Amino acid sequence: MNRTRLLLVDDEEDFVFALAERLRFRKYDTRAATSGEAALSEIEKERPDIVVLDLKMPGMGGMEVLREIKTRDPSIDVIMLTGSVDSEIGEIALRAGATYHIVKPMDIEDLMKKLQDIEKQRGLH
């Protein structure tokens, strides 16, 4: 059975590891990267259907990664994770091409709903 391919990107290793396990548990084909550069390299290796991307990371920040993803392959959906409650930041991410944005700490059910919405819209599995 083909499963939706996710790429999680966050410099918080413990966070990304736990979230990846939870999404695997929910039958997603999940890979993880802990930097923007590593994320782009993972995308080169294998195209994910959806990227869950942290906004603030050292080095290449989330916004820069988002723009690069959209330049390379606009059909990849990106859910932006932000640690800020400032709704303006989320709106900027949406304008830059993110499909959704979620404020951390997030509710897994909220993330699942957004993943399922994208799967439905894109006709994924």
Partner 1 sequence: MEADKEEMLRQRQLTVIGKVLAGYAHSMRDRLATIRESDGWLGDLLGQAGHGTEEDRERFGEILSTIERQVKVLDRKSEFLSRLAQRMGTGLCTFDPGEIVEEAVTLSSRSAHLREVFLRPEVAETLPNLYGDPVRVHFLVLILINDMLERTGRSGKIIVRAGSVEKSVLIEIEGSGTLEAVAPPPEEGNQYWSIGQQVVADLGGRLQTTAIGRDKNRTSMILPIKQVPSTSEM
CB of 112 to partner 1, least distance (A): 11
Residue 59 touches partner 1, criterion: CB under 8 A: no
Instruction: Select the residue interacting with partner 1 from 86, 91, 110, 117 (CB under 8 A).
Output: 86
Residue 92 touches partner 1, criterion: CB under 8 A: no
Q: Which range, of 12-20, 28-36, 39-47, 62-70, touches partner 1 by CB under 8 A?
A: 12-20
Instruction: Select the residue interacting with partner 1 from 74, 105, 120, 123 (CB under 8 A).
Output: 105
- For 20-82, give the DSSP string: HHHHHHTT-EEEEESSHHHHHHHHHHS--SEEEEES--SSS-HHHHHHHHHHH-TTSEEEEEE
Contact between residue 82 and residue 90 where contact means Cβ atoms under 8 Å apart? yes
Instruction: Select the residue interacting with partner 1 from 64, 94, 104, 119 (CB under 8 A).
Output: 104
Residue 122 touches partner 1, criterion: CB under 8 A: no
Contact between residue 9 and residue 54 where contact means Cβ atoms under 8 Å apart? yes
Residue 106 touches partner 1, criterion: CB under 8 A: yes
* Cα–chain center distance at 73: 14
